[in-house]
């Protein structure tokens, strides 16, 4: 490509290919949340221990996050379409195994394989979009669709699983994956072109192992610390992950053909995009935990009804991605990312002002937050993947998505800890001295525990306790939202500086396909 050449605009073939790529993306994102309603049914049929319940729910996300970097690098070597098809076969087989798992151990194993397959699908879809859409404006629109489908899948998962469980057994939430993956296996060879990088030499398997051994213990330690408090085991998990991560970084700098090309981070747009993705997922996931509990435990909705209500913000969120695709070419990506963080901050401000009975305000706050972060994630995805050479698109996609996984875990840990600290300080004053110590501890730990205790007490004692617990949780939500708004404003200021058009001009000073080309020679 010369400096004078203009990339061709996308036609029917390219947009049809995008429609095909939506299939695996939607399923992978849905599988993160599809078990929300199925767990009680699984517990009834398979009788897992408390530890097994944790791993049934979390192993998918842990394995997926741990293997993203590895699978992105493999896709760059063997071809993104080939890796996508391999992943589709694996995802189908693992879904069938999960649906008919005879015991908890088999279900945990099937969920782990689903995570492996999911890790092949996510970077492949994003890298193929980078390859298929050569024109910047078309790629921005395609990335907007990608971001919208990703966020929609997580929201649709609980509603779909709730509907299926009304009529079928819990395995049906896994079997729905198979027809879509079968369709992908038929359509992808016909409609998706193959792309692979130019890297040669042996694949660095040690780096792949170090990547998995870094990400899994860190995310596990963060989530467990946030959910169940500090223990030496959880601290050790974090420490081990960080130490292995240090070895991973050293190896990436010294070994040719490693999993992660460290030179990617020499580009300001790429590094800023990864950090913005992390902060976006930090806010989105951290807030979602509070909104779910607010709808169910404060407003008293059933899980399915609360899941349906949680789709209401999708009206505003769904319009954010196409609006972003229109605004970015006119005013620049940097200003729109900054605006997205400010819109997200306004959502947190609304959340900071809600009371105990505030369904509409909490949905408005969630809608503003979601819309702003979809604007951010649409453009930082485009900036990050568009900043690198096409032969490194898979690795770049994997780095971006791994940053998002870390951001989600940190959101639960940091924002969750802030809310929990406020809840516990407020509820202490409402706990009667007549309650047994263990019962008082249950009330103090979580709102869900307080709801359960209040239901067992006489109305004269239980009702005031429940009201106090709901008010304490709402105070915690308000405080969490203030902290979230501060983070979003700081992120907006940082992106306003780092993603200024003059700062991004370095990406336009050379042909797109020459960016980072030295890293693959």
CATH class of domain segment(s) 13-203: mainly alpha
Contacts of residue 239, defined as CB under 8 A and 6 or more positions apart, other chains included, come to: none
Q: What residue spans of 192-313 are helical by DSSP H?
A: 205-228, 232-254, 268-293, 303-309
Chain mean position to CA 482: 22
pLDDT of residue 355: 86
Say how far apart CA 44 and CA 54 lie, in whole Å.
15
Q: Which residues of the chain have pLDDT under 70?
A: 1-8, 10, 31-33, 36, 50-51, 154, 196-204, 226-229, 256-266, 386-395, 501-521
Instruction: Give the total residue count for the chain.
Output: 521
DSSP at 295:
I
pLDDT of residue 504: 53
Contacts of residue 360, defined as CB under 8 A and 6 or more positions apart, other chains included, come to: none
Say how far apart CA 417 and CA 226 lie, in whole Å.
6
Q: Do domains 13-203 and 264-412+480-509 have the same CATH topology?
A: yes
Which among 437, 433, 456 has a CA at the least distance from the CA of 445?
437
Helices 80-99 and 177-191, interaxial angle, to 10°?
A: 160
pLDDT of residue 160: 77
Domain assignments of the chain as residue spans, ordered by start: 13-203, 206-256, 264-412+480-509
273, 380 contact by CB (below 8 A): yes
Contacts of residue 50, defined as CB under 8 A and 6 or more positions apart, other chains included, come to: none
CATH class of domain segment(s) 264-412+480-509: mainly alpha
91, 114 contact by CB (below 8 A): yes
Phi, psi of 255 (to 5 degrees): -105, 120
31, 181 contact by CB (below 8 A): no
CB-based burial label for 456 (10 Å; 0-12, 13-18, 19+):
exposed
437-469 pLDDT, tens digit per residue, is 777 777 777 787 788 888 888 877 788 888 888
Tokens representing 372 are 């702003």
């Amino acid at each position: 490509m010369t400096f004078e050449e203009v990339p061709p605009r996308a036609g029917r073939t390219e947009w049809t290919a995008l429609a095909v790529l939506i299939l695996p993306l939607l399923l992978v994102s849905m599988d993160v949340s599809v078990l929300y309603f199925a767990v009680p049914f699984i517990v009834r049929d398979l009788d897992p221990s408390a530890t097994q319940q944790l791993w049934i729910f979390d192993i998918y996300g842990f394995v997926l996050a741990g293997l993203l970097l590895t699978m992105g690098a493999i896709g760059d070597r063997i071809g993104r379409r080939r890796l996508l098809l391999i992943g589709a076969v694996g995802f189908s087989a693992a879904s069938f195994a999960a649906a008919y798992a005879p015991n908890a151990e088999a279900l945990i194993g099937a969920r782990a394989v689903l995570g492996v397959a999911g890790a092949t699908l996510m970077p492949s879809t994003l890298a193929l979009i980078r390859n298929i859409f050569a024109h910047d404006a078309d790629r921005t629109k395609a990335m907007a669709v990608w971001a919208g489908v990703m966020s929609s899948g997580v929201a649709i998962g609980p509603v779909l699983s709730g509907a299926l469980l009304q009529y079928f057994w819990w395995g049906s939430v896994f079997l729905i994956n198979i027809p879509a993956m079968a369709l992908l296996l038929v359509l992808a060879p016909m409609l998706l072109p193959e792309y692979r990088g130019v890297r040669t030499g042996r694949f660095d398997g040690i780096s792949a192992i170090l990547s998995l051994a870094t990400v899994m213990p860190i995310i596990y330690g963060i989530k467990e610390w946030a959910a169940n408090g500090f223990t030496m085991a959880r601290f050790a998990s974090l420490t081990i992950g960080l130490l292995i991560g240090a070895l991973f970084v050293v190896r990436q700098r010294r070994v040719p053909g490693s999993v992660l090309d460290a030179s990617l981070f020499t580009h300001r747009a790429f590094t800023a995009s990864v950090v913005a993705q992390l902060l976006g997922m930090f806010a989105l996931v951290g807030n979602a935990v509070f909104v779910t509990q607010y709808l169910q435990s404060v407003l008293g909705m059933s899980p399915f009804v609360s899941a349906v209500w949680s789709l209401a913000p999708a009206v505003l969120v769904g319009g954010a991605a196409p609006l972003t695709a229109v605004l970015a070419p006119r005013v620049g990506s940097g200003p729109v990312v900054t605006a997205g963080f400010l819109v997200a901050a306004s959502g947190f401000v609304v959340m900071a002002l809600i009371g105990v009975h505030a369904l509409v305000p909490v949905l408005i706050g969630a809608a503003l937050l979601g819309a702003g972060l979809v604007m951010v994630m649409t453009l930082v995805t485009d900036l990050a993947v568009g900043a690198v050479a096409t032969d490194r698109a898979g690795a770049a996609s994997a780095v971006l998505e791994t940053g998002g996984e870390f951001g989600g875990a940190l959101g639960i840990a940091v924002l969750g800890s802030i809310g929990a600290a406020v809840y516990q300080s407020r509820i202490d004053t409402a706990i009667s001295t007549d309650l047994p110590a263990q019962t008082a501890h249950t009330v103090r730990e979580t709102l869900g525990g307080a709801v359960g205790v209040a239901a067992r007490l006489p109305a004269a004692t239980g009702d005031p306790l429940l009201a106090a617990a709901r008010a304490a949780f709402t105070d915690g939500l308000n405080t969490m939202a203030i902290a979230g708004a501060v983070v979003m404003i700081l992120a907006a200021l940082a992106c306003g500086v780092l993603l200024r058009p003059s700062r991004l001009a370095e990406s336009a000073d050379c042909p797109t396909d020459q960016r980072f080309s030295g890293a693959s020679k």
